[in-house]
Amino acid sequence: MRQGWRWFGPNAPVTLDEVRQAGATNVVSSLHEVPIGRAWTEREVAERKELIETAPAGRPPLTWSVVESIPIPDAVKRLGGKARAEIDAWIASLEAVASCGIPVVCYNFMPVVDWTRTELDYVTPTGATAMRFDHERFAAFDLFILQRKGAEAEYSLDDVERARIVYETMSEQEIADITRNITSALPGSTTEPLTIPEFRDKLEAYRGIDAARLRQHLIEFLAAVTPAAEARGVKLTLHPDDPPRPLFGLPRIASTADDYAALFDAVPSEANGMCFCTGSLGVRADNDLVDMARRFGPRIHFAHLRATKREGDGRSFHESAHLEGDVDMVAVLKELVAEDRKRRPGEDIIFRPDHGQRLLDDLNKTVTPGYPAVGRLRGLAELRGILYALGAAPN
């Protein structure tokens, strides 16, 4: 297995030298500055690849191995195969990536909002901070800040009353914070920042699109792009929904083993794979991550390894340290190592420590939410230790 690290580009707080110091060898990155829907050029990809892979004298080289992500425009999610211009632009970006020898592309199919958190600096018992999804605060936003039409019907009376109490105790700053966290696109998001009125309009545009229809649109997208990926030796990896359940009345269709099985059955190409994100999938107690790693092993080309800790009735959760949440990371890694050993050289599973708590010196710095250096360094060290114990030293 190959050690990856997400890097947000030349202006990111974490430098490429710090990636090397963490012990990672493979970079996970994207052209975050390119507007969603505009085709990447081979020149743009090649310039970023040169920046990543040209090591200063005497320093170990890095390899750009995963593009995370090429964003899928909203029109594709709403219209499926009818969004031909947007799909063609996405294929052009894929071809630019393939021409530069980058073998894995990660993407997601979450409508309107990408990964969602209500708090970015929830204080844990150790004094470190973590990102959190608080169901009551989310409901307060949905019902009383966004004031989504028809939202009351999706919550119990008790949920509505609890959300009302939470909302009435929120300060103006807390309202501004949760609005920014949910609507303004967190780092790495593949959706556009939105104002509250724009958010309502986006939701209205999805009226009538249920899970079956959204899944069909994803299948139509995959039917169009997978042949291009297969012909160029690129593996596509679908990231799970985060959280893995419907939000704002919108369907989500990459949340369970059945969801992935349906997509693999519909588009059986080996290029149609998954990003195995243990943190996202682990939010659901009914997801058996060890079984999923075993069942979908040949489809796993990229792994996000992190842990989440469910709270209360399981609807709230926070990002735990990598070995301290609800994910049995040792058992998951045993399955991934077993799969990795079956593969030909150069087809190793690339993994990265996903997210990380904010701790030590990072508490005094400006950091990319979810991606502080020290918390991820701790996570990578712990994951590396497990791999060594399993007799599978990472490279």
Average pLDDT over residues 184-191: 70
- Residue 189: the pLDDT is 65
- Structure tokens of 391? 């007799």
**How far apart, in Å, are the Cα atoms of 165 and each of 98, 272, 317?**
52, 45, 20
Euclidean distance between CA atoms 371 and 227, whole angstroms = 34
* pLDDT band, very low/low/confident/very high, at 188 (cuts 50, 70, 90): low
CA distance 118 to 310: 15
Q: Is the peptide bond before 197 cis (omega within 30 degrees of 0)?
A: no
In the predicted structure, residue 142 carries a pLDDT above the cut 80: yes
Say whether pLDDT at 222 is over 70. yes
The single residue of 304, 322, 326, 362 carrying the catalytic annotation is 304
Q: Does residue 318 carry a catalytic annotation?
A: no
Provide mean pLDDT across the span 351-356.
96
Closest by CA to 321, choosing from 361, 389, 255, 374, is 374
275 annotated active-site: no
Instruction: Give the pLDDT band (50/70/90) at residue 98.
Output: very high
- Computed over every residue of the chain, the mean pLDDT equals 96
Helices 172-183 + 196-205 axis angle, to 10: 40
Pairing of strands 129-133, 316-320: antiparallel
Domains contained in the chain, CATH given: 2-117+201-389 (3.20.20.150)
CB 317 within 8 A of CB 336: no
Residue 184, pLDDT > 90, answer no
pLDDT 10s digits, 269-316: 999 999 999 999 999 999 999 999 999 999 999 999 999 999 998 999
Q: Does the active-site annotation cover 371?
A: yes
Which band of pLDDT confidence, cut at 50, 70 and 90, is reported for residue 187? Answer: low
Q: Please tell me which residue in 107, 122, 167, 371 is annotated as part of the active site.
A: 371
The mean pLDDT of 207-236, rounded to a whole number, is: 97
Tell me the pTM.
0.96
Catalytic residue among 217, 239, 318, 322: 239
Active site residue 388: no
pLDDT above 70: residue 79: yes
Q: Which of 74, 167, 277, 326 is catalytic?
A: 277
Q: Using 50, 70 and 90 to split pLDDT, how confident is the model at 191?
A: confident
Predicted local confidence at residue 213, as pLDDT: 98
The 10s digit of each residue's pLDDT in 11-41 is 999 999 999 999 999 999 999 999 999 999 9
Supply the pLDDT for residue 338. 98
Q: How confident is the model at residue 193 (pLDDT cuts 50, 70, 90)?
A: confident
Average pLDDT value for residue range 185-197: 77
User: Which residue among 242, 318, 355, 362 is the active-site one?
Assistant: 355
pLDDT of residue 190: 66
Quick one: tokens of 211?
A: 């899970």
pLDDT at 364: 95
The one catalytic residue in 242, 340, 354, 362 is 354
> Exposure of 155 by Cβ count < 10 A (0-12 exposed, 13-18 middle, 19+ buried)?
middle
| Percent of the residues in the chain that have a pLDDT greater than 70, as a whole number | 98
Identify whether 239 is a catalytic site residue.
yes
135 catalytically annotated: no
